[in-house]
Amino acid sequence: MSHNPLLDTQGLPCFDQIKPEHVTPALDILLADAEAALARVTSAEVQADYDALSLLLDVPTERMGCAWGAVGHLNSVADTPELRAAFNENLPRLTEFYTRLGSDERLYAKYKAVGAADQSAPPERRLSPARRRALDNALRAFVLGGAELQGPAKQRYAEIQELQAAKSQAFSEHVMDATDAFSHIASTDELAGVPQDVQDATRTTAETDTQGASKADHKLTLHMPCYLPVMQYATNRALRETMYRAYSTRASEFGPAERDNSPLMQDIVALRQEEAQLLGYANFAEVSLVPKMAQSPQQVMDFLRDLAQRARPYAEKDMAELREFARTECDLADLQAWDVAFVSEKLKEARYAFSDQEVKQYFTEPTVLQGLFGLIETLFDVQISPDTAPVWHESVRFFRIERAGKLVGQFYLDPYARPGKRPGAWMDDVRGRWKRPDNQLTQTPVAHLVCNYAKGVGDKPALLTHDDVTTLFHEFGHGLHHMLTQVDDIGVAGISGVEWDAVELPSQFMENFCWEWDVIQKLTHHVDTGAHLPRALFDKMVQAKNFQSGMQTLRQIEFSLFDMRLHAEPGAQADIQKLLEGVRQEVAVNIPPAFNRFQHSFSHIFAGGYAAGYYSYKWAEVLSADAYAAFEEAASPGQGVLNAEVGKRYRQAILEAGGSRSAMENFKAFRGREPSIDALLRHQGMA
């Protein structure tokens, strides 16, 4: 093989050229380079010096990380059997190397020596605060990575890491495969109530995917742009039940055995518990919290239960109203799980006289992006413009962010749902900001922003629900955290080194702008008339903003408490279903049917890094609501909340500082005090 695009380190990944057969040969070379670097850096002739360690070790491992990141990204957005095989073949090799790197006693000793020398050095010769934090994080990671373990314990720790990586990857694949495997052919009559643009898309899918499909046939799938509107709008109750049963039992014992995640979940939790005990902790929840803001599993559970208590009266009222409306207006005396979204939508339409479908006609994708970019440019003193780079799909776009003509960062936007792309929305890093030790040049950060909304049908632009818009803003918040950083040390630049329970602050912060009239006007342009969203319709949306917020809060607490208890109670994996049912008995007002297997597709905690960390969404919501309150306090008639001065303070204290200080220090630098829960309760109508 003459040219391997994964070995091309000049600039951005060659996404249009990377093929499955490139993966193993590239990693053979990159792993060999990294192994040689590790051998060299741990030898006696290399001094314990911050710059020397970074030059010798960080350069080759960062290069390998970028190449493997490109493979992992393609595996998430352009999955093929061949690519999946190449990814899974190499995952154990990478896991083994990084586990060994993170637990190498000789390397740990060098880092400890750097730390000791720094503490005894005169003030003017000490490491910068950012470097000191990066070093302290690294020392902590060595301990959690098993560097202090000996003999069989160290070997078993390494085995556990490889097993966890493989099982989490399998979990994720099962969810994707189960989602892709389901389809249901429906007639136009069966889709009564379902919006026309959704019907157009399902008919197109039937024509494209199904042999001998008639003009009346529609192919329904479990992908969100199809599943959600069917659940919200289809008057056919049997169809809703079919879809709900399929969606809520994905990757469970109710489907093919080879896609059942039941044994994987038990294994993953048991392995985490074993890892915790090897490291000297009582349970995995304690391990998970070591690098986070929260101090203990008990503190997290107290926080969640306190919030549940505050939300419960609102949630009970929400549920009672829903049951009453179902009985009196929808002739449904026995409200079932597959009725909840449908009846909720009807109740919302009756109460606030609008539907998500009506609102969607105003949020045309080009206008939403233009408005979002304009808001970012105003608040954070940057300019966003289209750029060019190799991409993995024709619908992917690439942009650059500049300040005063100087490049700050770049990002890929992959907006639409398609087969072979995992569900959900996320931000990922392509590379981080770094003053490179090999050439002294500053490497600018690059991000992936991935969504899964429906692409436009025919020559029409994509139409976004208000939820889609909020999701886009959310992921952009993560992207700005990564791209606007001014920290030059890669370990604490952008999102790196930020406590996991604070990392959602910038993302959830951005969601608030989707509820501001001044902002909404710039995001909307009706697909047929070109009109902005009318004020009367916006006012109804604001009134409906906290519709069922009590129920939604309890639902998030249910997931968070389940996650924390699963990882804090040794042996909980023996009956995961029973544990989840116990949590629901404690906090839920809307208990799903006995066959529901939500946990079998709960990728966040079984395959996504949120193990004993899902609470961080709620924890960070306290921070983000309080941070946003600073913009509300400074609002004025002329500019609304888009105050450039407050934007600059927020940018400098939180976005630019990244992980170079603790999240609490960053927050206090912006707000001048510790966070308060008041703004969150006010924003959610529970004050």
For residues 430 and 391, the answer to whether their CB atoms sit within 8 Å is no
Which structure tokens are listed for 406?
């100087």
Taking the CA atoms of residue 358, residue 246, residue 336 and residue 187 in that order, the dihedral angle to the nearest 10 degrees is: 50
Say how far apart CA 605 and CA 171 lie, in whole Å: 11
Q: 457 burial class (0-12, 13-18, 19+ CB within 10 angstroms)?
A: middle
Which structure tokens are listed for 120?
């005894």
b/e 656-668 (16+ beta carbons within 10 angstroms → b): bbbbbbbbeebbe
Measured from the Cβ of residue 84, the count of other Cβ atoms closer than 10 Å reads 17
Say how far apart CA 414 and CA 395 lie, in whole Å: 7
DSSP character for 463?
B
Task: Please state whether beta strands 426-431 and 434-435 pair in parallel, antiparallel, or not at all (unpaired).
Answer: unpaired
**Length of the chain (residues):** 687
For residues 312 and 550, the answer to whether their CB atoms sit within 8 Å is yes
Q: What angle do CA 225, 188, 219 make, to 5 degrees?
A: 45
Compute CA distances 478 → 137, 228, 261, whole Å: 21, 25, 30
For residues 435 and 131, the answer to whether their CB atoms sit within 8 Å is no
For residues 465 and 362, the answer to whether their CB atoms sit within 8 Å is no
For residues 524 and 362, the answer to whether their CB atoms sit within 8 Å is yes
For residues 26 and 401, the answer to whether their CB atoms sit within 8 Å is no
Q: Which backbone phi and psi does 217 adopt, to 5 degrees?
A: -85, 145
Say how far apart CA 109 and CA 95 lie, in whole Å: 22
Say how far apart CA 322 and CA 343 lie, in whole Å: 7
Active site residue 82: no
Say how far apart CA 437 and CA 298 lie, in whole Å: 43
Say how far apart CA 144 and CA 289 lie, in whole Å: 11
Residue type, 84: R
For helices 59-77 and 81-102, what crossing angle results, to 10°?
150
What is the Cα 91 distance to its own chain's centre? 21
DSSP string covering 613-668? TTTHHHHHHHHHHHHHHHHHHT-BTTTBT--HHHHHHHIIIIITTTTSS-HHHHHH
Which structure tokens are listed for 241?
């039940």
Intra-chain end-to-end CA distance of the chain, in Å: 64
Of 345, 475, 511, 558, which residue is the catalytic one?
Answer: 475
Compute CA distances 92 → 24, 271, 355, whole Å: 12, 16, 48
For residues 137 and 102, the answer to whether their CB atoms sit within 8 Å is no
* H or E element at residue 680: helix 678-683
Which structure tokens are listed for 471?
């999701």
Q: Would you please indicate which residues are annotated as catalytic (active-site) residues?
A: 475
